[in-house]
Copies of this chain bind each other. A is one copy, B any other.
Amino acid sequence: MLTDIEIAQQSTLKPIREITENLGLSEQDWEPYGHTKAKLSDQLVEKLADRPDGKIILVTSINPTPAGEGKSTVTVGLGQALNKIGQKAIIALREPSLGPVMGLKGGAAGGGYSQVLPMEDINLHFTGDLHAITSANNALAAMIDNHIHRGNELNIDPRRIEWKRVMDMNDRALRQIVVGLGGPLRGVPREDGFNITVASEIMAILCLAKDLKDLKERISKIVIGYTYDEEPVTVKDLKVEGALILLLKDAIKPNLVQTTENTPAIIHGGPFANIAHGCNSLIATKTAAKLGDYVVTEAGFGADLGAEKFLDIKTRAGDFEPDAVVIVATVRALKMHGGVSKDRLTEENVDALKEGMKNLEKHIETIQSFGLPFVIAINKFPTDTEAETTTIESWCKSRDIEVALTEVWAKGGEGGVELAEKVIQKTKSDDRSFQRIYDLSDSIEDKIRKIAQNVYGADGIELSSKAKKQIALYEKNGWGEMPVCMAKTQYSLSDDPALVGRPSGFMITIRELRPSVGAGFIVVLTGDVMTMPGLPKKPAALNMDVTEDGKVVGLF
Taking Cβ atoms with an 8 Å cutoff, the residues of A that contact B are 31-35, 39, 98, 102, 124-125, 128, 131-132, 134-135, 138-139, 141-143, 145-146, 149-151, 165, 167-182, 185-188, 192, 212-213, 216, 239-240, 242-243, 245-247, 249-250, 534-535, 537, 539, 541-546, 548, 550, 552-555
Contact = CB atoms under 8 A, between A and B. Distances in A.
Nearest to A248: B546
Contacts of A146: 172, 534-535, 539
A132 B125 contact: yes
A553 to B, nearest CB: 8
Contacts of A179: 173-174, 177
Contacts of A102: 139, 142, 243
B178 A178 contact: yes
9 smallest beta-carbon distances between A and B, as pairs: A242-B545, A176-B182, A173-B187, A243-B541, A131-B131, A145-B173, A142-B171, A243-B544, A32-B32
A356 to B, nearest CB: 31
Contact of A128 (B131, B186, B550, B552): B131
Contacts of A149: 172-173, 534
Contacts of A124: 246-247, 249
Nearest to A141: B171
A301 to B, nearest CB: 22
Contacts of A534: 146, 149, 185, 187
A555 B535 CA distance: 39
Given A172-B149, A175-B186, A550-B212, A246 B537 contact: no
A554 B212 CA distance: 17
Nearest to A130: B131
Count chain B CB atoms within 10 A of each CB in A188, A534, A537 and give the residue with the most. Answer: A534
Count chain B CB atoms within 10 A of each CB in A128, A213, A541 and give the residue with the most. Answer: A541
B212 A546 contact: yes
A167 B186 contact: no
A135 B166 CA distance: 12
B187 A138 contact: no
A143 B539 contact: yes
A143 B178 contact: no
A12 to B, nearest CB: 16
B142 A173 contact: yes
Contact of A145 (B131, B139, B172, B212): B172
A181 B242 CA distance: 34
Given A131-B134, A151-B537, A249-B552, 8 more contacts: A32-B32, A33-B34, A142-B173, A143-B535, A149-B172, A178-B181, A246-B545, A249-B550
Nearest to A185: B172
Given A125-B135, A169-B135, A545 B245 contact: yes
Contacts of A541: 139, 143, 240, 242-243
B150 A173 contact: no
A45 to B, nearest CB: 15
Nearest to A211: B548
A248 B172 CA distance: 23
B550 A246 contact: no
Count chain B CB atoms within 10 A of each CB in A128, A179, A182 and give the residue with the most. Answer: A179
A174 B548 CA distance: 37
A176 B168 contact: no
A242 B546 contact: yes
Nearest to A33: B33
Contacts of A145: 171-173
8 contacts: A34-B39, A124-B249, A135-B168, A138-B167, A142-B535, A150-B537, A177-B181, A212-B548
A555 to B, nearest CB: 8
Contacts of A182: 175-176
A36 B243 CA distance: 23
Contacts of A39: 34
Nearest to A532: B186
Contacts of A542: 239-240, 242-243
A369 B149 CA distance: 47
Contact of A242 (B169, B188, B544): B544
A140 B150 CA distance: 33
Contacts of A177: 177-181
A169 B128 CA distance: 16
